[in-house]
Amino acid sequence: MLRMIGQRLMTTIPSVIGVIIVTFLLTRVLPGDTAAYFAGPAASPQAIIEIRSKLGLDQPLPVQFVSYVAALVKGDLGTSLTTGQAVTKDLAARLPASAELTLAGLILAMAVALPLGVLAAVKQGSWIDHLCRIVATAGVSLPVFFTGLLLVYVFYFILGWSPAPLGRLDVFASEPPRITGLFLVDTLLARDFETFRGALAQLILPAVTLAIFSLAPITRMTRASMLAVLGADFVRTARASGLTDGKVIGTYAFRNAMLPVVTTLGMVFSFLLGANVLVEKVFAWPGVGSYAVEALIASDYAPIQGFVLTMAILYVALNLMIDVLYGVIDPRVRLEG
Amino acid sequence: MTAVPLLEIRNLTVEFATRRGTVQAVKSIDIGVAKGETVAIVGESGSGKSVTSYAVVRILDRAGRVAEGSISFSGVDLVAADETQMRDLRGREISMIFQNPRAALNPIRKVGRQIEDVLLQHVQATRATAKDRAIEALSKVKIARPEERYDAYPFELSGGMCQRVVIALALACQPQLLIADEPTTGLDVTTQKAVMDLIVELTRERGMSTILITHDLGLAAAYCDKVVVMEKGKVVDTALASEIFRNPRHPYTRRLMQATPRLGTSLADLLPDAPQTVPAEARTAVAEPKTVAKPGPLMQVENLVKEYPRAAGGSIFARLLGKGPGEPPAPFRAVDGISFSIARGETLGLVGESGCGKSTTSMMVTRLIDPSGGRIIFDDTDIGAIPAKQFAASPHRRRIQMVFQDPTDSLNPRFTAERAIADPIMRMGAFKGRDALRARCEDLARLVGLPVELIDRFPHQLSGGQKARVGIARAIALDPDLVILDEPTAALDVSVQAVVLNLLDELKGRLGMSYLFVSHDLNVVRLLCDRVIVMKTGSIVEEGTAEEVLGDPKAQYTRELLTAIPHPPL
């Protein structure tokens, strides 16, 4: 197992190097002049040139790249010009927010999608199968900003059940002591149940929005993969040996059907992590997605590079986790590793 | 056998709902199985023999249902029983063994755990005793080192071993009735014998009744008391095994018997009375036989070797520390220096059990993979020296063609029969325009006895025998000199096999081809081949004319193979 993880890590090195080069070049070819933006609309050309040389932007590209990589090795992702903070600090502050939202959305989606997909496959053609189809189609055809706004309209504006969609915590509440960065976990660790409730109330609507969107692929994949496994010979053997339906479906069919579902989960997770900008915007969620978009609009190189690099590394780590999970589920994969 | 029947099937009709309305897969059949009796249900594909057994255990798939009749098992009405009652019967009173044992086991659960599941389900063991009982069950089916095998996954076991595990699973709860659905199809003859002997020994020991579902009359005769012959959903004949072969009453039984290759029959004997494999008008239609001009063998294989590297042992840490195995492990020799020759117009049989290297040999001779050593001289050229990747462009490619084992899987499902036959012509033949190509395909179809009106159909619209004919037509489309036949009839019913074998024999004579016939079925090899090579673990153990090798074998291994074949009493 260790050997497999080691080998998989080795193969990711070239892709990380590629990501570093590509993000560097991409941010350089994007239109917009950082120095001009930073100097403000009233700045004189002289001032802009000064700022440019201060930022090192007057150097040739290779020189800029070398200094970028040299800083990177030291763990320095540069400084954001808009927030004035180190990018690593900004990301460290915002990544847990995105992670908490995405994880909550994904767990919610799994909690609905897996049983729904399994039931739809077991009772093929029944009302639950049709429900599964409707949920999947609706979830994927409603854009997240629309679902998000609709939920806010209904549950905050009309019913008043949920708090104002303004970030992770009520403005007057204080943040829990920072341990993992996930508010739900930190408040529990600090035994601060009131803040926990507050954080949960803030989290529910955006998480549901994400969950509705990611329901579709998980449900469909679970259903298809369960159907294939239920038709397999070994399920027939299990039935013919008198095992209960619960045992046949739970232990025999479901575990075998998990492999493609795990792959889909990984894809959905990495997609959500980077792409939930719209949800973050609607709910004023201080995540990395909105941070990157703001930096992009300001032609602020360092945060964009930092964001893309972080995403790439997260993606690599996620894929590694999925590979390990494969080995746990399927002994045949262990052998090949 | 006058005892009260353990299982009694009366007037059973099973229907399947399909898109074209309901289809009766089984039509009012009566079968009785007495206590301790072994009954064979024999029939070709589509005869309803498996459906009958699924109806007994009530594991028909969603579309199927018992439309009429009754099934009673020691007084219990299985058609009317509720699902809880059925679940208690399955595995505890009635067990099943299936074809393709590896697929019949859960691939990601230890085999020991799978046996435990059944034991616990039927309260034959507690959590504390389950492991010991599972190991005991494994040792009963004569699995060596059962404690270790308990932790094995199905993919770590051989096919025969997997079937033993399936038997252990089926017999773990001491059922009264065992239903074995083609338990040895796809296994080697020696493995088949071992598995069948084991089933008979264990069931006899416990006084169990057995239903053996098979397409193999020899197997049915060798191991069963009573034989039930089914055709198209109906029982056409029921008789004692000792009588049915001596004195087959029903014409279908007689046809089945006739089509089964046995000692002392010839190819033509396999066919029903009117042997017309190739329609008369086609006999004059195509292809003059090639004039056999050059002397000497068509193909000469010298000292052929194929090696595969073994997986390196030792962990990465051991190797990093320099403590790994000193030298890399010796490569695995799949084919270990064999030499043989094929004369012009000859059929050479290549016989052996799975893993003996016969498929690797045929792939090298067909130039689909590269040999590790040795020479393949084809008509004075060493084609072994041409890399496999470039051989497709070689002028010799069209002279060596292949007929594959599975007629369904070896046809592109999106190609019509005509397109499949035309494929090699379009790639390698002189393309003479659409009409000429069509005419050539029709000629070829006629030549292989495929009705011309069928050549616009897709593979799924053709029967197994028709698909086999398409595969043969494709192989002979370029007028090859050598055709490699890789178990061409293994997936076919005996009656279809008889026709296809006769067709192959006739085509060889008419087109002046040579065959390399790869097979594990010695009876078929005896009928079709002039000379035979017997392979074992990559080497040739015996070689000679078909009569010599199969009539009076010299090598111990050949004798073992021959005695393992079940023969119907003559």
pLDDT digits (tens, 9 = 90+) for B504-533: 999 988 888 999 999 888 888 888 899 999
State whether A66 and A211 are in the same domain.
no
Contact A332 B59 (CB under 8 A): no
Q: Is the pLDDT of residue B287 over 70?
A: no
End-to-end C-alpha distance for chain B, whole angstroms: 24
Which one has a higher pLDDT value, B197 or B294? B197
Q: Who among B90, B108, B169 is closest to A329 (CB)? A: B108
Q: Which structural domain range is residue A33 located in?
A: 2-73
Rounded mean pLDDT of chain A? 84
Q: Choosing among A122, A225, A241, which should be mutated to test the B contact, i.e. which has the most B CBs within 10 A?
A: A241
Which one has a higher pLDDT value, A12 or B485? B485
Quick check: is A31 in a domain?
yes
CB proximity B53 to A under 8 Å? no
Are B96 and B161 a contacting pair, CB within 8 Å? no
Q: Is the pLDDT of residue B281 over 60?
A: no
Are B336 and B356 a contacting pair, CB within 8 Å? no
| Helical spans, DSSP H, in B292-338 | 316-320
* Contacting residues of B for A240, CB less than 8 Å apart: 57, 59, 90-91, 95-96, 98
Contact B95 A236 (CB under 8 A): no
Contact B103 A233 (CB under 8 A): yes
Q: How far apart are the CA of A2 and the nearest CA of chain B, in angstroms?
A: 9
State whether A39 and A108 are in the same domain.
no
Contact A332 B90 (CB under 8 A): no
Chain B, residues 165-224, CB within 8 A of chain A, namely: 166, 169-170
> pLDDT-based confidence at B283, cuts 50/70/90?
very low
Q: Who among A233, A244, A255 is closest to B104 (CB)? A: A233
Which one has a higher pLDDT value, A1 or A126? A126
Q: Classify residue A118 as exposed, middle or buried by CB count within 10 Å of its CB (0-12, 13-18, 19+).
A: buried
The predicted structure's pLDDT at residue B420: 92
Rounded mean pLDDT of chain B? 85
CB proximity A6 to B under 8 Å? yes
Q: Round the CA-based radius of gyration of chain B to a whole number and report it.
A: 26
The predicted structure's pLDDT at residue A133: 87
Quick check: is A82 in a domain?
no
* Contacting residues of A for B60, CB less than 8 Å apart: none
CB proximity B397 to A under 8 Å? no
> pLDDT-based confidence at B114, cuts 50/70/90?
very high
CA A188/CA A247 separation, integer angstroms:
36
The predicted structure's pLDDT at residue B228: 93
B368-373 contacts at long range (C-beta below 8 A, 24 or more positions apart) = B369/B306, B371/B304, B371/B305, B371/B306, B371/B335, B372/B305, B372/B306, B372/B307, B373/B303, B373/B304, B373/B305, B373/B307, B373/B337
Contact B90 A240 (CB under 8 A): yes
pLDDT digits (tens, 9 = 90+) for B532-561: 999 988 899 999 998 888 888 889 999 888
Q: Choosing among B58, B85, B108, B174, which should be mutated to test the A contact, i.e. which has the most A CBs within 10 A?
A: B108
User: How many CB pairs below 8 Å do chains A and B form together?
Assistant: 83
CB proximity A74 to B under 8 Å? no
Among the residue ranges B245-249, B501-505, B521-525, the one predicted with the least confidence is B245-249
pLDDT digits (tens, 9 = 90+) for B133-171: 999 999 888 888 888 889 999 988 888 889 889 999 998
CATH C-level class of B297-310+328-564: alpha beta
The predicted structure's pLDDT at residue A199: 86
Q: Regarding the domain delimited by B1-93+176-260, which CATH topology (the fold level of the hierarchy) does it fall under?
A: Rossmann fold (3.40.50)
Q: Is the pLDDT of residue A327 over 90?
A: no
Q: Give φ, ψ of A308 to 5 degrees.
A: -60, -40
Contact B108 A332 (CB under 8 A): yes
State whether A20 and A132 are in the same domain.
no
- Single out the residue in A38, A73, A108 at which a domain terminates: A73
CA A166/CA A20 separation, integer angstroms:
34
State whether A44 and A180 are in the same domain.
no
CB proximity B60 to A under 8 Å? no
* Contacting residues of B for A331, CB less than 8 Å apart: 108, 153, 155
State whether A110 and A163 are in the same domain.
yes
CB proximity B308 to A under 8 Å? no
Quick check: is A80 in a domain?
no
How many domains does the structure of chain A reveal?
A: 2
* Contacting residues of A for B118, CB less than 8 Å apart: 241-243
Amino acid at A265: L
Q: Who among B95, B104, B122 is closest to A234 (CB)? A: B104
State whether A60 and A109 are in the same domain.
no
Q: Is the pLDDT of residue A36 over 80?
A: no
CB proximity B104 to A under 8 Å? yes
State whether A6 and A139 are in the same domain.
no
Are B271 and B498 a contacting pair, CB within 8 Å? yes
Are A233 and B100 a contacting pair, CB within 8 Å? yes
Q: Is the pLDDT of residue B280 over 50?
A: no
Residues ≥6 apart with Cβ < 8 Å to B80: none
Quick check: is A244 in a domain?
yes
> pLDDT-based confidence at B266, cuts 50/70/90?
confident
Q: Is the pLDDT of residue B268 over 80?
A: no
CB proximity A252 to B under 8 Å? yes
Does an H or E element contain B242, and which?
Answer: helix B241-244
State whether A30 and A97 are in the same domain.
no
CB proximity B311 to A under 8 Å? no
Query: Which of B344, B92, B127, B421 is closest to A240 using CA atoms?
Result: B92
The predicted structure's pLDDT at residue B328: 60
> pLDDT-based confidence at A335, cuts 50/70/90?
low
The predicted structure's pLDDT at residue A274: 64
> pLDDT-based confidence at B286, cuts 50/70/90?
very low
- Single out the residue in A13, A38, A73 at which a domain terminates: A73
Contact A237 B96 (CB under 8 A): yes
* Contacting residues of A for B86, CB less than 8 Å apart: 242
The predicted structure's pLDDT at residue B474: 92
pLDDT digits (tens, 9 = 90+) for B296-329: 788 999 999 988 887 654 444 444 444 444 556 6
CB proximity A10 to B under 8 Å? no
Contact B117 A251 (CB under 8 A): yes
| Range A50-59 average pLDDT | 79
State whether A63 and A106 are in the same domain.
no
| Range B286-304 average pLDDT | 69
Are A175 and A140 a contacting pair, CB within 8 Å? no
Nearest CA in chain B to A3: B316
CB proximity B91 to A under 8 Å? yes
CA B324/CA B314 separation, integer angstroms:
6
Determine the length of chain A.
337
Contact B121 A244 (CB under 8 A): yes
CA B198/CA B163 separation, integer angstroms:
11
CB proximity A247 to B under 8 Å? yes
Under DSSP, is residue B10 helix (H, G, I), strand (E, B) or coil?
A: strand
Q: Who among A232, A240, A330 is closest to B91 (CB)? A: A240
State whether A174 and A307 are in the same domain.
yes
Q: How far apart are the CA of A56 and the nearest CA of chain B, in angstroms?
A: 44
Q: How far apart are the CA of B526 and the nearest CA of chain A, in angstroms?
A: 35
The predicted structure's pLDDT at residue B177: 93
Amino acid at A138: A
The predicted structure's pLDDT at residue B569: 55
CATH at A300: 1.10.3720.10
Q: How far apart are the CA of B95 and the nearest CA of chain A, in angstroms?
A: 6
Contact B59 A236 (CB under 8 A): yes
The predicted structure's pLDDT at residue B1: 44
Are B243 and B522 a contacting pair, CB within 8 Å? no
- Single out the residue in A16, A38, A73 at which a domain terminates: A73
CA B33/CA B17 separation, integer angstroms:
29
The predicted structure's pLDDT at residue A64: 85
* Contacting residues of A for B57, CB less than 8 Å apart: 240
Q: Choosing among B106, B110, B115, B182, which should be mutated to test the A contact, i.e. which has the most A CBs within 10 A?
A: B106
* Contacting residues of A for B87, CB less than 8 Å apart: 242-244
Nearest CA in chain B to A247: B117
Q: Classify residue A79 as exposed, middle or buried by CB count within 10 Å of its CB (0-12, 13-18, 19+).
A: middle
Nearest CA in chain B to A124: B62
Q: How far apart are the CA of B169 and the nearest CA of chain A, in angstroms?
A: 8
CB proximity A89 to B under 8 Å? no
Q: Classify residue B437 as exposed, middle or buried by CB count within 10 Å of its CB (0-12, 13-18, 19+).
A: middle
Q: Choosing among A2, A229, A236, A237, which should be mutated to test the B contact, i.e. which has the most B CBs within 10 A?
A: A237
pLDDT digits (tens, 9 = 90+) for A206-239: 999 889 888 888 998 999 999 999 988 899 999 8
Query: Which of B415, B405, B410 is closest to B461 using CA atoms?
Result: B415
Residue with tokens 């360092």: A302
Q: Who among B121, B155, B316 is closest to A243 (CB)? A: B121
* Contacting residues of A for B92, CB less than 8 Å apart: 242
Q: Is the pLDDT of residue B284 over 60?
A: no
* Contacting residues of A for B109, CB less than 8 Å apart: 251-252, 255
Quick check: is A310 in a domain?
yes
Domain range list for chain B: 1-93+176-260, 101-174, 297-310+328-564
Tokens found for residue A274: 């980077």
pLDDT digits (tens, 9 = 90+) for A144-197: 888 888 888 898 888 888 888 877 877 677 777 777 878 888 888 888 888 888
Are A19 and A309 a contacting pair, CB within 8 Å? yes
Q: Who among B86, B104, B108 is closest to A237 (CB)? A: B104
Quick check: is A248 in a domain?
yes
Which one has a higher pLDDT value, A289 or A276? A289
Q: How far apart are the CA of B397 and the nearest CA of chain A, in angstroms?
A: 35
State whether A118 and A41 are in the same domain.
no
State whether A179 and A116 are in the same domain.
yes
The predicted structure's pLDDT at residue B47: 86
Residues ≥6 apart with Cβ < 8 Å to A107: none
Contact A243 B117 (CB under 8 A): yes
What does the DSSP 8-state code read for residue B328?
P
Q: Is the pLDDT of residue B455 over 60?
A: yes
